[in-house]
Every structure is written in C-alpha cells, then in structure tokens.
Amino acid sequence: MSLNQEGVGRIARLARIELSAAESLATQDQLNGILGFIARLQAVDTTAIEPMAHAIGVVQRLRPDLVTETDRRADFQAVAPEVEGSLYLVPKVIE
C-alpha cells in the first residue's frame, strides 16, 4: 500500500495541519517508507514463534503479602478539621 498526494492531504486535514507542496511530497515519502517497513514486518513468517510478554526472560520477584504499617486512622482523624462517622468532611467546591 502506498499513499498518493490525495491521501496525504486527507491525513493532514484530519490531523489539522497545513502542509505546503514541498512538505506534502516529503511527508508522502516518509509515510510510504513507514508503510513499506510495516509491509516487510507483516511478510515475516512468525507461525513457529511463541508469543512473549517481554523481549527478555524477566521474572518478577514476589514478596509476601504482609501488613507492614500500623493503622493510624484515629491519629489522622484527630488532627482533621472535621470528621463525621469516620469520614473526612471537606468544603463543597462544586455548585
């Protein structure tokens, strides 16, 4: 697939950019180069290749799921300007 000047003009209009004639020709060459590279990538036979999540075999180190902090809710609510039913009250900001 290759783009013509009409296609480049449509893309520029959708992107809300203005291209001069010289910029349009340069953009056409660049976009056609990108589309050619994509076509080369799609032509590669990948049927025997297993999908992977990462290029390197990374193993995530897991830590035990333990509580490491104490409950300080009462301390924080003691210094809060207003609390009601264990909830922080804040001023209304939307009319």
CA distance 65 to 62: 9
Give 34's pLDDT tier (boundaries 50, 70, 90). very high
Q: What is the mean pLDDT of residues 39-66?
A: 88
Domain at 35, CATH number: 1.10.20.60
Percent of all residues in the chain with a pLDDT value above 70, rounded to a whole number: 100
Domain span at residue 24? 1-64
Quote the number of domains for the chain: 1
Question: Alpha-carbon Rg of the chain, whole angstroms?
Answer: 29
Rounded Cα distance, 89 and 81, in Å:
8
Query: 33 in a domain, yes or no?
Result: yes
User: Is pLDDT of 54 > 90?
Assistant: no
In a domain, 18, yes or no: yes
Q: Are 27 and 12 in contact (CB under 8 A)?
A: yes
Residue 60 within a domain: yes
Q: What pTM value is reported for the model?
A: 0.53
In a domain, 76, yes or no: no
Question: Is 16 contained in some domain?
Answer: yes
Asked whether residue 73 is assigned to any structural domain, the reply reads: no
Query: What is the per-residue pLDDT for 57?
Result: 79
In a domain, residue 80? The reply is no
